[in-house]
Every structure is written in structure tokens, then in C-alpha cells.
Structure 1
Amino acid sequence: RSNRDCQIDQHHRNQCQYCRLKKCFRVGMRKEAVQRGRIPPSHSSTSPNTIPSGEYFNGQPVSELISQLLRAEPYPAARYGSQYAQQGSVMGIDNICELAARLLFSTVEWARNIPFFPELPVSDQVALLRLSWSELFVLNAAQSALPLHMAPLLAAAGFHASPMSADRVVSFMDQIRIFQDQVEKLNRLQVDSAEYSCLKAIALFTPGRVG
């Protein structure tokens, strides 16, 4: 659209790459990191519905970086939680623990294959993952379509793994409630795969800016 203010949702998200990138900026991507190329602007060859070819992030086209983030997904077609929802089965504590472990493992595998991260010293990689793992877990949980009834089971799994004092139980349950609220909000936004990949990269590389 000519006004560059498109609605970005499940039905319109592929119509305007410019507004999709703008959505990523709103959630924390630093605009100063995007550089304009040296090619002069051309009104005849640039459409408002595409990311301008002159936009770069650390020397690479933004569109190519997004493609690399998508290719780094360990299980791009897998939606771990959907198999339980479709079968109508009840997830037990063992299922929840296995599912959580798979999500954490996929997070590490994804990080190892995205641009720039493998070039960092191992100590920096570990530090970034430690600082951002909870945000990445929430994003992966929402992206994987985990059934909403899993939150109480996550709490039960936590109690089963380690006895807690009353104060810790209250704090732990608050964290579970926040986790479920965040997953529900992401589901309502109908975020697509490219947007999830960008959000995860933002969370990983700028952990101090993610709430």
C-alpha cells in the first residue's frame, strides 16, 4: 500500500514486507543497525510492498538474513504440541518434561546455525543463551502450538523435580502464569515463522532489552 501502514495479521502478513520489518522494529530491533546501501533510490524499480534492496544489517541484505534465520530452524515443520491437541490425549508429567527438553534443545541448535552467533567466543555464546533462554522458550512454545492446558502440568513437573518452600511455590506459580499469558498473547497476534525467527534473534542478541 502506498501509505506504508499495512495491517499485519494472518491474512495480510505476506502482502507487505516493509510493514513486516517495521513490526520487528516495534518489538526491539534497533533501527540504527539497518544501513542504507549506496545505490541511489529509484522510484521506477522499488515497490512499497517489498523491503527496499538497499537495506542492510551488518553488511548483509535484511531479506537474506531473515532467510538464514528460517533455514536455521532445526524442525521447521514440527509443531510439538499439536500432536497432543489433535489426538485429544492428556499430557503427563513425562510428556511435558520431554517436550520442554526438546524445545530447549531446538533453541541451542537454532542458535548454532544463525548468522553471527557461531562466530562469537564460546563463553559469549553461553552467556547469551543463559540470559535469553526464558524468552526463547516462550517464543518456541508459542511457535510450536503447545496446548494451553500444559501450564498446570509444567508447574506439577517443577514440584515433582524439586521440593519447594511455600514462598518458592508462590513465586514459581507466578512465573507459570506469566508464561501462559505470554504464549496466549503471541497466539492472538498470529505471528508467522519469519516473525518468530526475527523475534528470537532479537531476544538472543539483545537480552537486556527484552521484557
Structure 2
Amino acid sequence: MTTNPGLQDLRTGRPMAPAMPEPRHGSTPPTPPITLVSSSMYYGTFYHSLLTAEQCNVSPMALDLSARRESKGPMSVRVESTLGRGGHPECLPEVAARLLFSSVKWAKSIPCFRLLPFRDQLILLEEGWRDLFLLGVCQWGVPLDTESILKAASPKLESLSKEELRDLEAQIRHVQDVVLRVRAMSIDFTEYACIKAIALFKPDTQGLREPYTAEYFKIKPKLC
């Protein structure tokens, strides 16, 4: 029941405050208006976060931690690598470990990745670490000559048969071919950031609690 704003309280003589209209039976209360944010704002924020994470990425070949800065900016760092052009087999496992570590650190530098449930973060990394590792090899110019790789893995090769060894060499050549083709594309700093984001956010990965969130962020790098 509603009260007229012109009526007065018979006991006090004061005007009675108007009552709010009661919702009809079965109706829902009015919802506040929704403020729409343009999709370009979302895209711009995500794109900026990718570039920020990429700028914090450091070459895994910086084993001696000696670097020369020829000019300002994160992309102007020239790293003196202990691998050299030919590559030292004993350093390859260290480079591979650092490359995996930098890939995980890069993913955790993206704010929207940290917003995902922790289990989803682990699942996406378990699913995408191979692609991220290969993209890191292409991006940082890690040497992948067959002889150095086999020498680095020589303690574990003794138990392999000749057929298994041939299969391993074929897989190494396949990876080398992929790396050469990617490097021939002359992919720049920004493009690597977008490609790695596509490799990381895979909504079709089984076990995700929030696959729609991964799908949302997977669409964005395609617009870069």
C-alpha cells in the first residue's frame, strides 16, 4: 500500500514521506544501469600487458650475466653469450632450463593470466610449454646444431638402440627446420608477444575451470 505525499500524520501533524511503490507479485526489483566499456579499451589493456611482460623477458643465453647497453630501452640490450656461435654442449641444458623458467615468468607477468584459477594456470602451462619453448628458441637464437645436442645428451643415449637414435636425430632435424622457417619470417618483438599469447591461452584444453576466460583472451592477440 502506498501513501500520498500530501497526507499528514494525524498524531504529529507532520507531512508523511511518500512510500516507495511495492513491486508486483512475481516481478523483480529494478536493476541499476550497466556502464558499458568499449572493447577497444579491453583490447588495449591486454595488448599493453603483453608488451610489458615481453619487455621484462631476458635472453636465456645470458649465462655470464655480462651485458652491454648500446642505447636506452629493453630491446637494446646486447648480451655476451658464453655459448658463442658454435655452442658449448655443456651449456645447452642450462640454457634450456633458463628458457623454460623465462617462459613461466613471462606468463606470470601477464595480469589476466594471474587472474585465472591457479589450477587453470598450471594446466595452460603444461599444455603450452612446448610451443613457448620453441618460440623462445626462435626468438633468442639458441643454437640447435645436431652435434651439440647429441653431445649434451650423450649420457642418456647409451641406452638407445640405433633405430631410436635415428628417430631422435629425425626429430632434431624437424625442430631445426621449424626454427629456420620461423626465423626466416623476421618476426618482431610485438608479433612474438602476440603469438606466445595465442600459444598460452588455449580454451579447448581439457580440465579448465574457466575455459571461457581463456577463450576471451585468446581472441585478443589475433587482433594485434
The two structures have a TM-score, normalised by structure 2, of 0.57
Answer yes or no: is 1:117 the counterpart of 2:98. Answer: no
Answer yes or no: is 1:130 the counterpart of 2:126. Answer: yes
The answer on whether the counterparts of 2:61 and 2:142 sit within 8 Å (CA) in structure 1 is yes
User: What SS is found at the alignment partner of 2:153?
Assistant: helix
Answer yes or no: is 1:69 the counterpart of 2:50. Answer: yes
Cα deviation 1:71-105 (Å, max 9, x = unaligned): 113754637387449x8554222211111111000
Q: In the aligned structure 1, how far is the partner of 2:85 from the partner of 2:195?
A: 31
CA RMSD of aligned residues (A): 3.1
- Counterpart of 2:33 in structure 1 is none
Q: In the aligned structure 1, how far is the partner of 2:58 from the partner of 2:103?
A: 15
Answer yes or no: is 1:177 the counterpart of 2:158. Answer: no
* Runs of 5+ consecutive residues of structure 2 not aligned to the other structure: 1-35, 63-78, 206-224
Cα deviation 1:143-172 (Å, max 9, x = unaligned): 1122353x4322332343463333432332
- Counterpart of 2:155 in structure 1 is 160
Cα deviation 1:126-151 (Å, max 9, x = unaligned): 222121111111101111122353x4
Q: In the aligned structure 1, how far is the partner of 2:203 from the partner of 2:179?
A: 18
Answer yes or no: is 1:104 the counterpart of 2:100. Answer: yes
Answer yes or no: is 1:78 the counterpart of 2:47. Answer: no
Change (3 A) 1:159 1:125: farther
- Counterpart of 2:12 in structure 1 is none
The answer on whether the counterparts of 1:129 and 1:204 sit within 8 Å (CA) in structure 2 is yes
The answer on whether the counterparts of 1:74 and 1:106 sit within 8 Å (CA) in structure 2 is no
Change (3 A) 1:168 1:140: same
Q: In the aligned structure 2, how far is the partner of 1:207 from the partner of 1:139?
A: 20
Q: In the aligned structure 2, how far is the partner of 1:105 from the partner of 1:161?
A: 23
Task: Give the alignment partner of residue 202 of structure 2, picking from 189, 202, 206.
Answer: 206
Q: Sequence identity of aligned pairs in percent? A: 33
Task: Give the alignment partner of residue 140 of structure 1, picking from 136, 144, 159.
Answer: 136
Amino acid at match of 1:117: F
* Runs of 5+ consecutive residues of structure 1 not aligned to the other structure: 1-37, 40-53
Between structure 1 and structure 2, the one with the greater Rg is: 2
Q: In the aligned structure 2, how far is the partner of 1:185 from the partner of 1:141?
A: 12
